[in-house]
């Protein structure tokens, strides 16, 4: 576990979390740090887009339904701006249409809330390998 943590932390310093739900913003970074990732949380897509952490972000864990810009909107916006950050979507709504759309737009993984820690880790591995 130790060498894995070092490896991840060294090569990919930042996993960003964008979710309007506070309990996710509190719990998910702890778990990510347990995994060994550096992490930072944002409460909205707009906040992430204007942040200087954007360029350091190696992977984005992104909520779908948010007030203002949605997860899918942010995914399109990043693509338009030329940022090819791998994205793992998380959603409380079991909407297959949205899930399909996210994959069409290049999502690495799409997890329905609540998801297990192993499912998340697997998704992160896929995302970072893609990178």
Partner 1 sequence: MKVQLEHPADEIKRLQRCINDLVSLLTLPAMWSGNKPCDIVQTLLDSLLRMLDLDFVYVSLTNLVDAAASETVRVPQSQEQMFRPRELCTFLNRWLGDDPQKRYLQERSHLGDEEVSLVSWPLGVQREIGVIVAGSRRADFPRDTEALLLSIAANQALIGLQEARLLSEQKRVADELDQSVAQRTAELAAANEVLRMEVAERRRAEEALKRSEAFLAEAQRLSLTGSFSWRIDTDEITFSEQLYRIFDLDPDAPVTLEQIGSRVHPEDISLLSEKMDLARRSINDHDYEIRLRMPDGRVKYLRTKSYGIRHKDGRLEHIGAIQDVTEHRLAEEALSKLRTELTHMARVTTLGALTASIAHEVNQPLSGIVTNASTCLRMLTLDPPNVEGARETARRTIRDGNRASDVITRLRALFSKTDTIAEQVDLNDATREVIALSLSELQGNRVILRSELADDLPLITGDRVQLQQVILNLLRNGSDSMNTVHDRPRELLIRTERDEDDRALLSVKDAGIGFDPQSTDKLFQAFYTTKNDGMGIGLSVSRSIIEHHDGRLWATLNDGPGATFSFSIPCRSNT
Q: Is 40 a residue that touches partner 1 (CB under 8 A)? A: no
What minimum distance in Å lies between the beta carbon of 82 and partner 1? 31
CA proximity to 61, closest of 21, 97, 4, 11: 21
Query: Taking the CA of residue 99 as centre, how many other CA atoms within 13 Å lie in the half-sphere pointing to its CB?
Result: 12
Residues 111-130 that bind partner 1 (CB under 8 A): 112-117
Closer residue to partner 1, CB minimum distance, 33 or 79: 33
- Helix (H) or strand (E) segment spanning residue 119: helix 117-130
What is the pattern of x (binds partner 1, CB under 8 A) and - over residues 86-105? Answer: ----x-xxx-----------
**Measured distance CA(118)–CA(41) in Å, rounded:** 20
Closer residue to partner 1, CB minimum distance, 11 or 34: 34
Q: Is 16 a residue that touches partner 1 (CB under 8 A)? A: no
Closer residue to partner 1, CB minimum distance, 6 or 34: 34
The tokens of 45 are what?
Answer: 């897509």
CA proximity to 128, closest of 27, 49, 35: 35
Question: Could you give the residue ranges of the DSSP H alpha helices within 12-69?
Answer: 22-35, 45-49
Closer residue to partner 1, CB minimum distance, 69 or 111: 111
Q: Is 28 a residue that touches partner 1 (CB under 8 A)? A: yes
Site residues (CB under 8 A) for partner 1?
21, 23-24, 26-28, 30-31, 34, 65, 90, 92-94, 112-117
């Amino acid at each position: 576990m130790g060498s894995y943590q070092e490896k991840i932390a060294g090569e990919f310093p930042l996993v960003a979390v964008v979710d309007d739900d506070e309990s996710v913003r509190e719990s998910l970074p702890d778990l990510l740090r347990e995994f060994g990732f550096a992490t930072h949380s944002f409460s909205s897509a707009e906040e992430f887009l204007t942040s200087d952490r954007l360029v350091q972000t190696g992977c984005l864990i992104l909520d779908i339904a948010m007030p203002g810009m949605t997860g899918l909107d942010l995914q399109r916006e990043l693509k338009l701006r030329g940022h090819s950050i791998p994205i793992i979507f998380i959603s409380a709504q079991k909407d297959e249409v949205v899930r399909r759309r996210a994959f069409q737009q290049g999502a690495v993984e799409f997890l329905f809330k609540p998801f297990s820690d192993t499912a998340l880790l697997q998704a992160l591995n896929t995302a970072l390998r893609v990178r």
